[in-house]
Copies of this chain bind each other. A is one copy, B any other.
Amino acid sequence: MTTSHPFDHALRLEAAGGDSPGTFRGHTSPDYWNMVGPFGGTTAATALRAILLHPALLGEPVALTVNYAAALVEGPFTVTPKPVRTNRSTQHWTVELSQADANGDAGVVMTATAVTAARRETWSQSDTPAPAVIPADAASRLKVSSVAWTHRYDMRPVHGVIPQVWDGSGTDSLTQLWVRDDPPRPLDFPSLAAMSDVFYPRVWLRRATRVPAGTVSITTYFHADSKQLAQCGDGFLLGQARAQAFRNGFFDQTAQLWSEAGVLLATSTQVVYYKE
């Protein structure tokens, strides 16, 4: 890649070759560091990018599920996408991301599955219009935290900002925000996968209480094809996230991402571990 955008740098992968054809080597990026590991969105995007780099690829992403099996540590990793089944118009993938532990033993830190497909034009219908909110230009940028990855997104909440006072006063879990890469970057499938995970843990908003929380598994469906993504350029997306249930250590979080023109690009759901 010729671009110097930090997202492309974070997603840089090189064919391992030799004894491991089909395996790619990557390295965690300080630009997208979260509290105790990389931003999960970057990890999901890395799984997807490995698939997109595979010479056997058929079509474009339709579905991606990423399971965060263990925390990645700073350093190199390997990612191995496998086309386990190729049909006439769909292809099924499994992906494993491994990293050596302190003893040098390789362990699986992420598993993923994906479906890619050669899509054809059909009857289409969007039944989830973008909510009516103030435009991105009129919204204030979220005050960035000390966490590196939050600097890499221009996030402008229009509803459900991170609580300013942690006083247990929360009443609902709905966040709506404008988001784009910082610096701006033309939208593609990996960046859309990453943006599906920019919403801070719903439990913080619902309870106005900060508790340890981390995504365990995320599934994103891509409704748009590459033409529709290209039409977004490097503009803002409108994102929405909300939880359906919090129960004994895990909650779910559903999300939608629309283009600035109101096209539903992706829908996503994740299950998140929380404490207390």
Q: How far is the CA of A113 from the CA of B120 in the complex (A)?
A: 28
A57–chain B nearest beta-carbon distance, Å: 16
- Per-residue B-contact encoding for A94-113, CB less than 8 Å = 1, 0 else: 10100000000001110111
Number of copies: 2
- Measured in the bound complex, the distance between the Cα atoms of B121 and A198 in whole Å is 27
Q: Which of A117, A123, A207, A267 has the most CB of B within 10 A?
A: A123
Task: Tell me the bound Cα distance from A107 to B192 in angstroms.
Answer: 32
User: Which residues does chain B contribute within 8 Å of A4, judged by CB atoms?
Assistant: none
Known A123-B207, A249-B122: A92·B108 in contact at CB below 8 Å? yes
Q: Interface on chain A toward B: helix, strand, loop, or mixed SS?
A: strand
Q: Are B216 and A115 in contact (CB under 8 A)?
A: yes
In the complex, A127 Cα to B224 Cα: how many Å? 29
Which of A16-24, A63-71, A179-187 interfaces with chain B? A63-71
> Which residues of A in the span 245-276 have a Cβ within 8 Å of any Cβ on B?
245-250, 252, 254, 256, 264, 267, 269, 271, 273-276
Residues of B within 8 A of A96 (CB): 84
| Interface of A toward B, CB cutoff 8 Å | 62-63, 65, 67, 69-70, 84-85, 87, 90, 92, 94, 96, 107-109, 111-113, 115, 117, 119-128, 172-173, 206-207, 216-217, 219, 221, 223-225, 242-250, 252, 254, 256, 264, 267, 269, 271, 273-276
